[in-house]
Amino acid sequence: MMHPIFIGIDVGTGSARAGAFDQNGRLIASFAVEIETFYPQPDFVEQSSTNIWEAICKATHAVLSNADITAEQVKGIGFDATCSLVALDQDFQPISISPSGDNKRNIVVWMDHRALSQTARINAQKHPILQFTGNVISPEMQIPKLLWLKENLPSLFEKTAHFFDLPDWLVHRATGTQTRSLCSATCKWTYQGKNGYSGEGWDREFLNSVGLEPLLQDNTARIGNHFAAPGAAIDTGLTDDAANELGLIAGTPVAASLIDAYAGALGTMGVEAKTPKASSARVALISGTSACHITTTSEPLFVPGVWGPYFSVLGPDQWANEAGQSMAGALIDRVLDGHSATSSLRLQADEQKISLYDQLEQVLAEQAGCDADTHTLTRHIHIQPDFHGNRAPLADPLRKGAITGLTKDCGVTDLALQYLAALQALAYGTRQIIEAMNEKGAGIDTIVVSGGLALNALYLREHADATGLRILQTTTQEPVLLGSAMLAATAAGQFDTLQDAMREMCGPARTIAPRRGKPRAFHDAKYAVFLKMQTDFAAYRDLMTSPGDI
């Protein structure tokens, strides 16, 4: 008997990936293809939907070929992607969002911060709808970006007939429909799902108040007027053209999509620990280029600086809150790329045929010696990680990063110390986020991890010790792709609900327990420094802005 296969498609910041899973959540094959990114000027980050679709098709063909999977075996397909803004003309063709005017560049990437001014003006209104975005909207969301386009590229804005969130555009490209996911629309566009403060739908008064009244013309068709819950089957499935491009069969069920972080949460929240707790409130930590922290509750939690509460964006009748760090893997890259010793250490790693991160851990182990732990090596070096602003809980996109404790050493030892301090800084950011959520009643006592950094043992150890919480690391490969495969399996009717898919497909997890005693005391002290550095940054900014004439 032919076993059903479910394809998950994940579009991250740097690559498009396809993964094939069976109904038990077992990964059969995966493949990744890099995608193009353009950086025309500071704070501008752009991509191409054409390039992304080509990468998806290439990755899917590779998975089918490498695993000898026939198109007939594939019973469903699910998409997730970064929450980036896609612009199309009236014929659903790419239209530029770039000052370059290049129609190929029709995506404003999530991390693009061109709309800082628009964000500040929207927040200054203190509209009631912002209670669902932690009281402030972020430049990483779509409303500020749309306002920037209207004000700075008015002719292109007028010519744009359709604006999609990237995961929704993928579903459109696959099915030809314009149905959007409640996940994207609610989390990044201020659409109000059921139980919203003013009822379900777009808040027309809010959009008018911020200057986006053109989006309300034509019955909001430009931004969506038909929505589906994640995992719902979309119309008649794959079109003939999309099926031919992907190497699949027309009519194959396609699921309503998820933002990539939410796919990671879906792929991990249901993992089973070997030593389960009687009551466990979990936060999903999805760490890639950035980091997202997602938790679900039965009642809405309003946490200043934390996005949400969002209703039914991950599962029916649940509320979700989302926090995060705008730079996680990107912070580590920035620290490494900015150090003079990185190139020589990379050569050493290549000679030993190990990763640069393994090489860094070797340097740290040598410095600590056989009887000491590496975590104390950073006693006098501290990093404030807000190199691209603070997403949560300070919700300040204008914040900058800092490194203190530098010496005249600029060799590999100093590089390794900065690397460790960066990992610890990310852990303290997670601790601050969880404390903010728990102050409002989240009760989080467990972290479940996914994303590229979930494979970094040192990152996980520092997180466990710094937060004092246990960490569950899924044994399933590619948990973000698994989340999208769960969407596919639900849309195909393999499972009745996403919760059913989670129970059957998530699998077991390893437990990383926090260490008590001296490690905890050390991290408590460094966390106090972390908080002091945040306060100091605000003081420095005030000193430089208050005179006005300097």
**pLDDT for residue 527:** 98
Phi then psi for 227, rounded to 5 degrees? -130, 155
Q: How far apart are CA 341 and CA 457, in angstroms?
A: 23
**pLDDT for residue 289:** 96
**pLDDT for residue 549:** 58
Q: Please indicate, yes or no, whether residues 323 and 383 belong to a single structural domain of this protein.
A: yes
Q: Please indicate, yes or no, whether residues 215 and 307 belong to a single structural domain of this protein.
A: no
- The mean pLDDT of 394-415, rounded to a whole number, is 97
On whether residue 503 sits in a domain, the answer given is: no
DSSP H or E run through 541:
helix 518-545
On whether residue 390 sits in a domain, the answer given is: yes
Q: Please indicate, yes or no, whether residues 226 and 160 belong to a single structural domain of this protein.
A: yes
**pLDDT for residue 323:** 98
On whether residue 119 sits in a domain, the answer given is: yes
On whether residue 507 sits in a domain, the answer given is: no
Q: Please indicate, yes or no, whether residues 535 and 401 belong to a single structural domain of this protein.
A: yes
**pLDDT for residue 277:** 67
Domain end among 200, 235, 258: 258
Q: Is the N-terminal amide bond of 309 cis, ω within 30° of 0?
A: yes
Q: How far is CA 423 from CA 1, 236, 498, in A?
A: 48, 46, 33
Q: Please indicate, yes or no, whether residues 234 and 376 belong to a single structural domain of this protein.
A: no
The domain that contains 194 carries what CATH number?
3.30.420.40
On whether residue 250 sits in a domain, the answer given is: yes
Phi then psi for 464, rounded to 5 degrees? -60, -45
Q: Please indicate, yes or no, whether residues 122 and 50 belong to a single structural domain of this protein.
A: yes
Q: Please indicate, yes or no, whether residues 211 and 344 belong to a single structural domain of this protein.
A: no
Assess whether pLDDT exceeds 70 at residue 241. yes
**pLDDT for residue 50:** 98
Contact at 8 Å (CB) between 519 and 53?
no
Contact at 8 Å (CB) between 394 and 305?
yes
Looking from the CA of 296 toward its CB, the CA atoms found within 13 Å total: 18
Domain count, the chain: 2
On whether residue 339 sits in a domain, the answer given is: yes
- The string of pLDDT tens digits covering residues 186-213 is 999 999 987 655 578 999 999 999 999 9
In sequence order, the β-bridge partners of residue 475 are none
Mean pLDDT of the chain: 95
On whether residue 509 sits in a domain, the answer given is: no
Contact at 8 Å (CB) between 248 and 267?
no
Contacts of residues 245-251 at CB distance under 8 Å and 24 or more positions apart, as own/partner, are 245/53, 245/57, 246/56, 246/57, 246/60, 246/61, 246/77, 246/174, 247/57, 247/60, 247/61, 247/64, 247/71, 248/7, 248/60, 248/71, 248/74, 248/77, 249/71, 249/72, 249/74
**pLDDT for residue 274:** 61
Q: How much of the chain exceeds pLDDT 70, in percent?
A: 96
Render the burial of 107-118: b for 16+ CB within 10 Å, e for the rest.
Answer: bbbbbbbbbeeb
Q: Please indicate, yes or no, whether residues 249 and 302 belong to a single structural domain of this protein.
A: no
Q: Which amino acid is at 41?
A: Q
- The string of pLDDT tens digits covering residues 329-357 is 999 999 999 999 999 999 999 999 999 99
Q: Please indicate, yes or no, whether residues 236 and 299 belong to a single structural domain of this protein.
A: no
- The string of pLDDT tens digits covering residues 14-64 is 999 999 999 999 999 999 999 999 999 999 999 999 999 999 999 999 999
Q: Which amino acid is at 443?
A: G
Interhelix angle for 412-439 vs 329-337, to 10°?
Answer: 160
- pTM listed for this prediction: 0.96
For the four alpha carbons of 375, 381, 387 and 391, in that order, the dihedral sign comes to positive
Q: Is 29 helix (H, G, I), strand (E, B) or coil?
A: strand
Q: How far apart are CA 80 and CA 258, in angstroms?
A: 5
Q: How far is CA 383 from CA 161, 210, 292, in A?
A: 44, 37, 20
Contact at 8 Å (CB) between 174 and 242?
yes
In sequence order, the β-bridge partners of residue 31 are 18
The domain that contains 362 carries what CATH number?
1.20.58.2240
Q: Is 449 helix (H, G, I), strand (E, B) or coil?
A: strand
Q: How far apart are CA 258 and CA 262, in angstroms?
A: 6
**pLDDT for residue 196:** 59
Task: Give DSSP secondary structure letters for 458-508.
Answer: HHHHHHHHHH--EEEEESSS-HHHHHHHHHHHHHTTSSSSHHHHHHHHS-E
**Residue range of the domain that includes 326:** 294-445+452-467+514-544
Q: How much of the chain exceeds pLDDT 90, in percent?
A: 93
**pLDDT for residue 371:** 62
- What separation, in Å, do the N-terminal and C-terminal C-alpha atoms of the chain show? 76
Q: Please indicate, yes or no, whether residues 73 and 209 belong to a single structural domain of this protein.
A: yes
**pLDDT for residue 198:** 59
Q: Please indicate, yes or no, whether residues 239 and 298 belong to a single structural domain of this protein.
A: no
- The string of pLDDT tens digits covering residues 253-286 is 999 999 999 999 999 999 986 666 655 799 999 9
In sequence order, the β-bridge partners of residue 294 are 284, 322
On whether residue 151 sits in a domain, the answer given is: yes
Domain end among 201, 232, 258: 258
**pLDDT for residue 547:** 61
**pLDDT for residue 78:** 98
Contact at 8 Å (CB) between 469 and 444?
yes
Length of the chain: 550
Q: How far apart are CA 43 and CA 320, in angstroms?
A: 29
- The string of pLDDT tens digits covering residues 350-389 is 999 999 999 999 999 999 987 668 999 999 999 999 999 9
- The string of pLDDT tens digits covering residues 463-517 is 999 999 999 999 998 999 999 999 999 999 999 999 999 999 999 999 999 999 9
Q: Please, which residues have CB within 8 angstroms of residue 423's CB and are 6 or more apart in sequence? A: 332, 456, 458, 459, 462
Q: Please indicate, yes or no, whether residues 105 and 249 belong to a single structural domain of this protein.
A: yes
**pLDDT for residue 487:** 98
Domain end among 213, 231, 258: 258
In sequence order, the β-bridge partners of residue 512 are 471
For the four alpha carbons of 346, 352, 354 and 359, in that order, the dihedral sign comes to negative
Q: Which amino acid is at 281?
A: A
Cβ atoms < 10 Å from Cβ of 417: 24
Q: Please, which residues have CB within 8 angstroms of residue 130's CB and are 6 or more apart in sequence? A: 123, 136, 137
Task: Give DSSP secondary structure letters for 183-243.
Answer: HHHHHHH--B-TT-TT-SB--HHHHHHTT-GGGGGGGGTTT-S-EE-TT-B-TT-S-HHHH
Strands, sheet with 46-47, edge to edge from the N-terminal-most edge strand: 46-47, 107-108, 85-88, 162-165
Q: Is 85 helix (H, G, I), strand (E, B) or coil?
A: strand
Cβ atoms < 10 Å from Cβ of 61: 16
**pLDDT for residue 279:** 57
